[in-house]
Amino acid sequence: MWEKLRAADVEDARAQLSRRRAATLKRQTEELESLDAQLRDIDTFERVVAAFFEEYMYGEAGTLPAASIVEQSPAA
């Protein structure tokens, strides 16, 4: 079987590798998009929590700005 290696065999291997590479890049792109969406969700959650603290926990007193509240909280 391997007595002769034809140019077509090399081209077939190259084409197969190109398809595998494209599939890998597609999966990577999809995973990165998913992770980016999760990061956006976390950012949104952080803003909502900061706004809540600013309005309901430190409402009229306003002793701490919203950004400081999130940074000082034990969960952050």
- Alpha carbons 34 and 46: distance in angstroms, whole number: 19
| 9-48 tens-digit pLDDT | 999 999 999 999 999 999 999 999 999 999 999 999 999 9
pTM above 0.85, yes or no: no
- Alpha carbons 54 and 70: distance in angstroms, whole number: 10
Entry field: residues in the chain: 76
Intra-chain end-to-end CA distance of the chain, in Å: 63
Contact assessment for residue 53 and residue 66, using Cβ atoms and an 8 Å cutoff: yes
Scanning 1-76, the segments in alpha helix (DSSP H) are: 7-52, 66-72
